[in-house]
Structure 1
Amino acid sequence: MHVSHLSLQDFRSYAQVDLELEPGVNAFVGPNGQGKTNLVEAIGYIATLGSHRVSTDAALIRAGQERAVVRTRVVRGDRASTIDLEINAGRANRARINRSPVPRVRDVVGILRTVLFAPEDLVLVKGDPDARRRFLDDLMILVSPRLAAVIADYERVLRQRSALLKTAGGPRRRGRPVPGEEQGSPDLRTLDVWDAKLAVLGAEIIAVRQRLVAGLAPFVAEAYGRVSAGQGHAEITYRSSLAAALDEPEPDAPQAPEAIESQLLEAMTRLRSKEVERGVCLVGPHRDDLTLTLGGLPAKGYASHGESWSFALALRLASYNLLTEGVGNDDDLWVVDSREDGEPVLVLDDVFAELDVRRRQRLADLVAPARQVLITAAVPGDVPESLVGARFDVLDGVVGRVL
């Protein structure tokens, strides 16, 4: 799989740009603030419908304009697909595949797959659990695009249930008795309905995450070993809020969704009074975390800056390797066939400048065989000489191919 063409209209700093890209290495080189990252950000947006830099779409539209358009041509084997995304201010976004409108924008997810590593990824090791949950969910969607709908439905139900908890617990938090607080009260009967919905959706997300982490773990250990030249052993495990709620140990192996659903319902029953009192949902995939350990110690707080960089890089390289080699599962929760989909496009956004010489060369050796690698760098010397391919100079919003 590779991107053969990228066209932008009113995206970020670009009024208009058209680029022909090649398989192999494509390096965008220029001083900071000239628009290099905007190019790879647009490609990542086509793949995930999200940006690795901002949480909302408004910042993606060039100042003073009402919409931005991103168009790519994606080659998979002997087939090519054109994807058009129209990002609108104040209106729903629209999408086309091969010039034909699609009913839902998320229908384009899965045509292009990317794995992006950027300086912001250090938050995966040093930051809060939210970043690690997003890492897992983004990878889940790359593995199985249908899960985007499951995650969206879960977030909708979570908002509804949280709003109901705040309503039911409002009088108590204001120091007044709660009318009809017994189980049969209208508010709590409605809460039972939302509990059931949350349990079904949350169980599927947790089940897939558990399988994903189990499949990812050996790739993480291998990638960290290669990036760090064998200095330390990296491990990842899934930590569920269910274990603490039920006072049970974490499961040794991935569980079936049905078992997790039952556990979620039991946990919500146990925590009902606390949830009503605090007005928040205290158990579910939105409270889970990905635990990272290095040499048996938590990476957060113990790993050095260089070790943290290596761990973050290992997570992305492991994602790339998992998607490339293909994974499957007997219960069809998630399946990727790399022979059909092709390996993802690998994006390295201003990464080499953050690494010392040894790690830089090890990374170059690891990514060189990839079908397509997109690199941004401030100066030509940041790109290792072994990564030979197409180069584009980026200056003042103008992108020019270096011949």
Structure 2
Amino acid sequence: MHVAHLSLTDFRSYSGVELALDPGVTAFVGPNGQGKTNLVEALGYVATQSSHRVATDAPLVRHGATRAVIRSVIIKDDRRALIELELNPGKANRARINRAAVSRARDALGLLRTVLFAPEDLALAKGDPAERRRFMDDLLVARHPRFAAVRADYDRVLKQRNALLRTGLPARSGKRRSARRQDDEAAFAEAGAGDVLSTLEVWDAHLVRHGAELLAARLELVDALRPLVAKAYADLAPASGAAELEYAGLSTGGTTDREELAEHLRSALAEVRRAELERGVTLVGPHRDDLLLRLGELPARGYASHGESWSFALALRLAAYDLLRADGGDPVLILDDVFAELDTQRRRRLAELVATAEQVLITAAVPADVPPELTGARFEVAEGSVTRAS
């Protein structure tokens, strides 16, 4: 799989840009702040319909414009697919595949698969559990796009259930509390939720159904990733301890059976019912779980050095790449200003590990940041223009 063409309209700093791309290695080189990352961010967005840099779409639209458009031509097994995404902050995004409109933008997921390395990846080892949950869920969707709907359904039910729980909190004095409670009650009135206590069991059933599906998929994913992460980490940092993964959350007894997991989740919700009503929030479920990273006996978070944390984050991405590759076809590898963060040894090892990919896209501030093992096409990026070097 590779990207043959990228077109941007009013995306980030670009009013318009057209790029023809080839298989193999392509480097975008130029000073910081000139728009290199914007290019690869756009391709990451086509693959995941989210940005690795911001949580909402609004910053992706060029200042003064009302929408942004990303067009990409993907080649896989000699077949071409044109994907067009229209980003409309505050409204529903739109998608077209081979110029035919699809009912939902997420129907375009799966046509392009990418694995993106970026400085933000350090948060996988050092950051909050939400970063690692997103890593797992994004990889699930990359492998099986139907999980985009599963995740969206779970998030929708969770939001509605939390709002319902908040309406059941004892009345408190103060205008701020009253206003929030009124907003929650209005939201549920629109959804036809009815009385708080009589409706809670209905939302429990929805949460259990979608939560068990998401939980089972994550557990199976971690089992598949575990040996791949261990190998990738050993390749990147052979002198460090062994890298291990553990899914932390609801006690499941080791099962991945959907029905058994649903029963575990249903029982856990019953146990925390009183606490949830007192606090106004859902206390158990996949939204509170974590992926624990360990180096030997110690957790990576808080104990790993900066270099070890970087190696663990890279090992997670390399494992994701190997897993997607095993599913069929190389994903596009994107290395966004990664080599500048690595010492010489890790830089060389990473370059050797990714050199065989069908397509590698690199951003770098200076040519020296691109390892000699990764030679290929080069674009110079400066002052909003992208020029192919001779």
Which TM-score band (shorter chain)? over 0.9
Provide the rounded CA distance (Å) in 2 between the counterparts of 1:376 and 1:305.
22
Deviations 1:348-370 (A, max 9, x none): 10000000001000000000000
Find the residue that maps to 1:84 and give its secondary structure: strand
Partner of 1:151: 151
Determine the C-alpha separation between the residues in 2 that align with 1:28 and 1:114.
17
Q: Aligned partners of 2:92 and 2:197: how far apart in 1?
A: 35
Q: How does 1:58-207 map to 2 (within 5 A)?
A: 58-171=58-171, 186-207=195-216
The answer for the alignment partner of 2:315 in structure 1 is 314
Query: Distance between the aligned counterparts of 1:92 and 1:277, measured in 2?
Result: 35
Deviates more, 1:371-380 or 1:162-171: 162-171
Deviations along 1:18-48, one digit per CA (max 9) or x if unpaired, are 0011101010000000000000000000010
Contact 1:203–1:264, Cα closer than 8 Å, also in 2: yes
> Aligned ranges for residues 206-217 of structure 1 at < 5 Å?
206-217=215-226
For 2:73 and 2:195, locate their aligned partners in 1 and report how far apart those are by CA, in whole Å.
53
The equivalent residue for 2:359 is 372
Quick one: which amino acid aligns to residue 138 of structure 2? D
* Equivalent in the alignment of 1:246: none
Residue type at the aligned position of 1:365 = E
What is the aligned partner in structure 2 of residue 282 from structure 1? Answer: 283
Cα distance in 1 for partners of 2:201, 2:377 equals 58
Deviations 1:273-293 (A, max 9, x none): 000000000000001000000
For the residues of structure 1 that align with 2:209 and 2:378, how far apart are their CA atoms? 49
Are 1:214 and 1:254, in contact at CA under 8 Å, matched by a contact in 2? no
CA distance 1:311–1:69, change in 2 (3 Å) = same
Q: CA deviation at 1:373?
A: 0.5
Matched, 1:233 2:220: no
Q: Deviations over 1:261-307 (max 9, x none)?
A: 00111111111000000000000000100000001210001100000
Task: Determine the C-alpha separation between the residues in 1 that align with 2:215 and 2:333.
Answer: 27
- Counterpart position of 1:363: 350
Q: Are the counterparts in 2 of residues 172 and 277 from structure 1 also a CA contact under 8 Å?
A: no
1:207-247: CA deviations, max 9, x gaps?
0000000000100000000011342200011011x22xxxx
Residue 240 of structure 2 contacts residue 308 of structure 2 at CA under 8 Å; is this kept in 1? no
Q: 1:254/1:320 Cα in 2 relative to 1: closer, same or farther (>3 Å)?
A: farther
Amino acid aligned to 2:6 = L
* Structure 2: distance between partners of 1:220 and 1:390: 30
Distance in 2 separating the partners of 1:315 and 1:39: 23
How far apart in 1 are the matches of 2:213 and 2:104?
22
Q: How does 1:29-48 map to 2 (within 5 A)?
A: 29-48=29-48
Q: Give the letter aligned to residue 355 of structure 1.
A: L
CA 1:89–1:159: 2 relative to 1, 3 Å: closer
Conserved 8 A contact 1:211-1:254: no
Q: From the superposition, tell whether residues 371 and 58 of structure 1 become closer, same or farther in structure 2 (CA, over 3 Å).
A: same
Q: Which residue of 2 aligns with 1:384?
A: 371
- 1:349 maps to which residue? 336
2-structure distance, mates of 1:162, 1:63? 35
Structure 2 counterpart of 1:303: 304
Matched residue type, 2:256: Q
The CA distance in 1 between the partners of 2:330 and 2:99, in whole Å, is 25
Q: Distance in 2 between matches of 1:255 and 1:20?
A: 44
Q: Which amino acid aligns with 1:268?
A: L
Instruction: Report the Cα distance in structure 2 between the residues aligned to 1:49 and 1:57, rounded to whole angstroms.
Output: 9
1:23 equivalent in alignment to 2:23: yes
The percent of aligned pairs where both chains have the same amino acid is 61
- Give 1:199 shift: 0.3
2:184 corresponds in structure 1 to: none
**Counterpart in the other structure of 1:258:** 259
TM-score (norm 2): 0.93
Change (3 A) 1:368 1:254: farther
How far is the alpha carbon of 1:172 from its aligned partner?
A: 8.2
For residue 10 of structure 1, what is the aligned residue in structure 2?
10
What SS does the corresponding residue of 2:50 show, helix, strand or coil?
A: coil
Q: Distance in 2 between matches of 1:72 and 1:190?
A: 45
CA drift at 1:343 = 1.5
Aligned to 1:333: none
Unpaired runs of 5+ in structure 1?
175-184, 244-249, 327-337
Q: Aligned-pair distance for 1:91?
A: 2.6
- Corresponding position of 1:179: none
